[in-house]
Amino acid sequence: MKVSFHGQSVVQVQTKTHNILIDPFITGNGTCDLEVDDVKPDVILLTHGHNDHVGDTIDIAQKNNSLVVAPNELAVYLESRGLHTHPMHIGGAHQFEFGKVKLTPAFHGSMFVDEDGNKIYGGMPAGILLFVEGKTIYHAGDTALFSDLKLIGDMNEIDLAFLPIGDNFTMGPDDALIAAEWVKAKTVVPIHYNTFPLIEQDGDAFASKVKPGKGIALNPGEGIEL
């Protein structure tokens, strides 16, 4: 299985049988190495309803008949746009053909503006625990530091965690280092930084301080074999 990072919070998980894409913000994302027409995911997982996370979901899912797994209110809206969706909510888990998904809390917001200028409420924001091919991947979504991150680490043996470090809209590097200690992942990758000036951070500096486990700052397009 290969897990790759593609700028902002875009993560792709290629298993033996499925291509899974998380938070596909491609168009307008200057740090992303992907092209919308080139990605062909079987599944799209969404953490919350902000434009820099929902991104190109509608276009990609329509072209590829992708299953979209998202927090309930966001899934309901996307279904109204003709997408094949599976709604979930915080604390809930579901076993899919491609693996098991559980939504965790995230302290953030969830509203995006569609192409017609409508403001769409996306429900509660979430993190994602993805259990696939014997591995556990945690994508924290956009979140502040909060104490239940320790509970998430205590309840799960996490192989790979993606944690936001951009500050201003999410936790910054110092808080993310505490989150890394609590989550106890074997490998931690920083996300949600350097996409625009307000969230510029030094990913390598963050990664060098991660403990326990190890930190790796991936450039867009780089990946990890699990």
* pLDDT 10s digits, 130-172: 999 999 999 999 999 999 999 999 999 999 999 999 999 999 9
pLDDT at 4: 98
* Distance (Å, whole) CA 116 – CA 70: 21
Mention every residue, 6+ apart, whose C-beta is less than 8 A from residue 95: none
State yes or no: pLDDT of 226 exceeds 90: yes
For domain 2-219, the question of CATH label 3.40.47.10 is answered with no
Q: What is the mean pLDDT of residues 189-194?
A: 98
State yes or no: pLDDT of 184 exceeds 90: yes
State yes or no: pLDDT of 115 exceeds 90: no
- Give the H or E element holding residue 20: strand 19-22
What percent of the chain is modeled with pLDDT above 70?
100
* Ramachandran angles phi, psi of 90, nearest 5°: -55, 130
Q: Model-level pTM?
A: 0.98
* Distance (Å, whole) CA 199 – CA 212: 25
pLDDT tier at 107 (50, 70, 90 boundaries)?
Answer: very high
* Both tokens assigned to 79: 């279904």
Angle between the N-to-C axes of helices 173-183 and 148-155, in degrees from 0 to 180, rounded to the nearest 10: 30
Q: What is the mean pLDDT of residues 78-89?
A: 97
Query: Domain residue spans in the chain?
Result: 2-219
Q: What is the mean pLDDT of residues 43-58?
A: 97
pLDDT at 12: 98
Nearest CA to 47 among 117, 120, 126, 105?
126
* β partners of residue 137: 130, 160
Q: What is the mean pLDDT of residues 64-83?
A: 97
pLDDT at 122: 95
State yes or no: pLDDT of 23 exceeds 90: yes
